[in-house]
Amino acid sequence: MHPEAAFLAGYSFSLILIAVGLERVGRCSTDPSTSRTLAASRPPTRRTSDLEPDWPHSEVPAFHLGLAAVALAAALVIATVSAVRNIGPVELIVHASLLALIGLRIRHVMVGYRTPTRQHTTKSGNEIAPDAAR
Amino acid sequence: MVIQGGPTSVRVRGNVEPRAARVMAKGWIQAVVLVGVFGFTVLGFMAARTYQADPPIPDRVVSASGEEVFTGEDVRSGQEVFLRNGIMQFGSIFGHGAYLGPDFTADYLHRAAVLVEATYGAGGADASGRTIEDFRTNTYDPATSTIVYSDARAAAHGELAQHYHDFFANPAGDTGLRPAAIADREDTRQLAAYFSWTAWAASAERPDKDYSYTNNWPPEELVGNAPTGDVVVWSVLSLIALLAGIGALLAVFGRWNWLGWHGRDQQELSFRSPDRVALTPSQKSTAGFFLVMAALFLVQTLVGAASQHYRAEIGGFFGIDSDRYLPYNIVRTWHVQLSIFWVVTSFLAAGIFLTPMIAGRKEPRGQHVLSNLLLGALVIVVVGSLLGELAGIHGWFGNAWSWFGMQGFEYLDLGRFWQILLTIGLAFWVVILWRGLHSRLAVEHRTNMPWLFFYAALALPAFYAVGLLAHPRATFAVADFWRFIVVHLWVEDFLELFTTVMVAYMFVLLGVVRQRVAMTVIFLDIILYSAGGVIGMAHHLYFNGEPAEVLALGAFFSAFEVIPLTFLTLEAWTFLQLGARQESNSATSFPHRWAVMYLVAVGFWNFLGAGVFGFLINLPIVSYYEIGTALTANHSHAAMMGVYGMLAVGFMLFCLRYLVPEDRWSDKLAMISFWSLNIGLAWMCFVTLLPLGVLQLHRSVTDGYWAARELNFVTNDLNALLGWLRLPGDVLFIGGGVLPLLWIGFNGVRHRGSHQDVLHDDDLLLFTEVSAASSYAPDDEPAGAR
């Protein structure tokens, strides 16, 4: 495999890994009232586990999915450039696999973004539209 | 019960006003003083060693057969030619400067070594050994102040003088410099002498040492330059210091839960709507600053894009011979200078804006006149210095070039006249703050928050003035030491300190945190910055002619710089939560969501840009191979824009939130700007700068540093393509990130007069506290209670 193709494919793959990592981090709860990780800093009086998290915790999945989308877009651009510049049997297989993987991850991100998991609550617990909360 | 928030000191309107009690315990103050004294003592030691151990410039360099090759005067004049033509903003010397052109130390050294080895019969072991001996033997005689070159080396110098003349005098250009940039043969002869001297310092062994004046930098097999024991050992110790420091930080946070930003739990605040907060005339005058700031930011990004374009298309701009009018070294100079100017403009304005709120009373008469004068002076300095730099490289100022033209040190490019004016302007700004604050300072303990704000402001002109010690005729190591007092100590430490105090004050004024909590954070930051940042400045000085002990101190202490950056990352979420919590408690919405979001971005980029990308190149063994490559640019963009840029925009939005009427304010524009700036910056780093830097690092390790900096390599197909790939990110950054700020800034100026004036001191308050069920002690609790 041509060194340039190996470098660009490897770099592109590392961006995909970053995107996967960001998606997973985005799925973890950051709200001290519900997160096991942050249990130590949980305010003693707060019992809101039955409610959707407040801002900024409510934005966490979208925020991380957005960052993951940027990383995937960068991976897509670099992998495409590498595929155009390096044409050979091995390179073809590597780039095709890489582009397919990027496609799958982009689809995954888009599905995750469309899923209506983001809700905001007022102090009294009433739900309000995301735009109004912003 | 209703308690009015805001300034907390006792106000007695009479002849005798008792000072408020000290808020912080004595131990904190003693710790700050001790760490500060230690840091600056070591800095003084390093300054002394810089003067004692920098590579000597001889009176004469002669060949073994006795012919004069060049003189010490040629070397000094060559440095002046290098600076006044802005070559440090094209390529670099000792690894310091711009990244498009070659590093002239490494370039000369490699070319000379190839020529000398060819003279000795290239390919044989004997030729290689003789070449290494030729370069490593230190022939400097202090008694006669003479260096002796072998005849082979003297002959090589003659050839290289012609090579550099051809390079700089080339009428076709195609280098990024203007065509025939330096056509005068005497100038290019002196320039070649300067390059030759730097190559001598990079290869000749220090007296009684087995490494060169530059700690064997650059890596060059032909002259036997390889990493020294110090470079490797201090890299390992630097890593250990980092791990131990971060572990200690986390342990301290776990042990003492009261460290860091803690909100005023269980209290209900009512944020005053920005429309209801009255503004003083000087506060209204800051709208002009923010419009100028946004305009400078726009110009900075445009010339930055132009400088990047030279990497993708070296000959010009989409077929236009732009190098004739705006060559790379000019657009890069403007890009670098404006990065400081627009950020500082925002900080100056934010300082003026916060002053009446900190003072808690109406301002003295004429404060806005002084503020407007400062803005006018600032515009004159910015425009004058930038045009002076353009005129300077054309030689229009004659012998006064360093005063009005291009002084040429990267980041200190502006002429000394403009540099002095800027220092005076900063001092004038401190006077404006003093006028606004002195009534409050008179009733505060000298270690309380208003005084910290004033001390932090006072440090800005004081440390910027140190840059005047970097003189064009000083030896490079000496000039570079003082240059980095500005680039590192002023920018990375004192601006950081000032911003920490400003952010803390913003939260205190909003009632989000108690003064004691804010002060704990400030004192902790001062201790951490002083421990790492002051001595850590030496991480810029590994290979520019400083002795090995400076390298050791820089490597070890700069690792501690990452620790406060980690600390700031921990703070980032807290900033968000502070705003969110108060918003959920307040009947009125928290008005600064997007200003706070910018602070969160600061935390993120501080960790990634300054911490991760910075530490990536901080270890001496990594810096040895990568200095001056795109990895450095990757760090500087992520850290300078990511931290100071985002802070400057955050301050702008905080202040303009009050200056722009509610019905004209657009959170949507702020949101678009926020995401565009962040995504554009991330794109810039991850699509172009980081991969480019990795490619250069690989080439540097495998083929030599000179090869990684060669113009042909930097502008080859792949690198140019990576440069082109940056385009979408840059367009988003400028179009989506900067233009909305310009519009918001314009609205600030347009509507600044519509705001109500301050009639009573309480008009300046930003919140009202409607419940006081806090478990926290009040601010004026006697010191030492904790």
CA dihedral B590, B594, B600, B606 (to 10 degrees): -140
Instruction: Quote the DSSP letter at residue A41.
Output: G
pLDDT for position B215: 96
B702 touches chain A (CB under 8 A): no
Q: What is the mean pLDDT of residues B546-569?
A: 83
Q: Do B667 and A7 touch (CB under 8 A)?
A: no
Q: Do B721 and A81 touch (CB under 8 A)?
A: yes
B607-666 pLDDT, tens per residue? 888 888 988 899 999 999 999 999 999 999 999 999 899 999 999 999 999 999 988 899
* Cβ-nearest to A11 among B671, B679, B691: B691
Tell me the helix, strand and coil percentages in chain B, rounded to 5: 70, 5, 25
pLDDT for position B572: 56
DSSP lists the bridge partners of residue B263 as B513
B417-453 pLDDT, tens per residue? 999 999 999 999 999 999 999 999 999 999 999 999 9
Please report, for residues B128, B139, B213, B558, the alpha-carbon distance to residue B205 in angstroms, rounded to integers and kept in the order given: 17, 9, 6, 27
pLDDT for position B552: 94
More confident of the two residues B5 and A77: A77
* Cβ-nearest to B580 among A15, A54, A78: A54
Q: How many CB atoms lie within 10 A of CB B143?
A: 5
* Cβ-nearest to B686 among A7, A15, A43: A15
B668-707 pLDDT, tens per residue? 999 999 999 999 999 999 999 999 999 999 999 999 999 9
- In which residue are the tokens 């993120």 written? B604
- Cα separation, B220 vs B98, in Å, equals 21
pLDDT for position B565: 66
pLDDT for position B262: 57
In terms of Cα–Cα distance, which of B610, B629, B460, B602 is closest to B533?
Answer: B610
Q: Do B577 and A74 touch (CB under 8 A)?
A: no
In terms of Cα–Cα distance, which of B627, B458, B420 is closest to B543?
Answer: B627
pLDDT for position A125: 40
B152-167 pLDDT, tens per residue? 999 999 999 999 999 9
Residue A81 structure tokens? 């450039």
In chain B, the residue whose alpha carbon lies closest to the alpha carbon of A66 is B679
A52 touches chain B (CB under 8 A): no
Beta B60-63 vs B146-149: how paired, if at all? Answer: parallel
Lowest mean pLDDT among A58-62, B349-353, B541-545, B597-601: A58-62
pLDDT for position A47: 47
* Cβ-nearest to A74 among B265, B683, B694: B683
Size of interface A-B (CB pairs under 8 A): 43
Q: What is the mean pLDDT of residues B518-531?
A: 82
Q: Do B694 and A7 touch (CB under 8 A)?
A: yes
Q: Do B686 and A7 touch (CB under 8 A)?
A: no
Exposure of B407 by Cβ count < 10 A (0-12 exposed, 13-18 middle, 19+ buried)? buried
In chain A, the residue whose alpha carbon lies closest to the alpha carbon of B263 is A43
Cis peptide before B218 (omega within 30 of 0): yes
A133 touches chain B (CB under 8 A): no
In chain A, the residue whose alpha carbon lies closest to the alpha carbon of B265 is A43
Contact A74, B683 (CB under 8 A): yes
Contact B343, B335 (CB under 8 A): no
More confident of the two residues A92 and B759: A92
B28-62 pLDDT, tens per residue? 999 999 999 999 999 999 999 999 999 999 999 99
A33-70 pLDDT, tens per residue? 555 544 444 455 544 444 555 656 666 777 788 888 99
B141 touches chain A (CB under 8 A): no
Residues of A in contact with B691 (CB under 8 A): 7-8, 11, 78
ipTM above 0.85, yes or no: no
Question: What distance in Å separates residue B778's CA from the closest CA in chain A?
Answer: 21
Beta strands per DSSP E along chain A = 120-121, 127-128
Mutation for testing the B interface, residue in A18, A29, A78 having most B CBs under 10 Å: A78
Report which secondary-structure segment, H or E, holds B71. Answer: strand B68-71
Q: How many CB atoms lie within 10 A of CB B172?
A: 8
Residues 17-36 of A with CB under 8 A from B: 30
Helix extents (H) in B120-184: 125-136, 151-169
Lowest mean pLDDT among B93-97, B185-189, B220-224, B755-759: B755-759
Residue B529 structure tokens? 């910055």
B260: pLDDT strictly greater than 70: no
DSSP lists the bridge partners of residue B63 as B149
pLDDT for position B410: 93
B446-489 pLDDT, tens per residue? 999 999 999 999 999 999 999 999 999 999 999 999 999 999 88
Helix (H, G, I), strand (E, B) or coil at B406: strand
Residues of B in contact with A70 (CB under 8 A): 679, 682-683, 686
Phi, psi of B306 (to 5 degrees): -65, -40
In chain B, the residue whose alpha carbon lies closest to the alpha carbon of A122 is B584
pLDDT for position B56: 96
A113: pLDDT strictly greater than 50: yes
The proportion of chain B whose per-residue pLDDT surpasses 70, expressed as a percent, equals 88
Residues 56-85 of A with CB under 8 A from B: 56, 66-67, 70-71, 74, 77-78, 81, 85
B725 touches chain A (CB under 8 A): yes
pLDDT for position B250: 75
B778: pLDDT strictly greater than 60: no
Sorted by sequence, the CB contacts under 8 Å of residue B91 that are 6+ apart come out as: B97, B98, B100, B101, B102, B103, B104, B107, B709
The proportion of chain B whose per-residue pLDDT surpasses 90, expressed as a percent, equals 68
Phi, psi of B621 (to 5 degrees): -70, -30
In terms of Cα–Cα distance, which of B585, B610, B430, B582 is closest to B506?
Answer: B582
Residues of B in contact with A122 (CB under 8 A): 584
Q: What is the mean pLDDT of residues A112-127?
A: 50
pLDDT, mean over chain B: 88
Mutation for testing the A interface, residue in B686, B702, B719 having most A CBs under 10 Å: B686
Contact B42, B530 (CB under 8 A): no
- Cα separation, B583 vs B590, in Å, equals 5
The proportion of chain A whose per-residue pLDDT surpasses 70, expressed as a percent, equals 61
Residues 92-121 of A with CB under 8 A from B: none
Cis peptide before B564 (omega within 30 of 0): no
Question: What distance in Å separates residue A74's CA from the closest CA in chain B?
Answer: 6
Question: What distance in Å separates residue A114's CA from the closest CA in chain B?
Answer: 19
Residues of A in contact with B671 (CB under 8 A): 134
Question: What distance in Å separates residue B669's CA from the closest CA in chain A?
Answer: 13
pLDDT for position B566: 67
Q: What is the mean pLDDT of residues B250-263?
A: 64
B683 touches chain A (CB under 8 A): yes
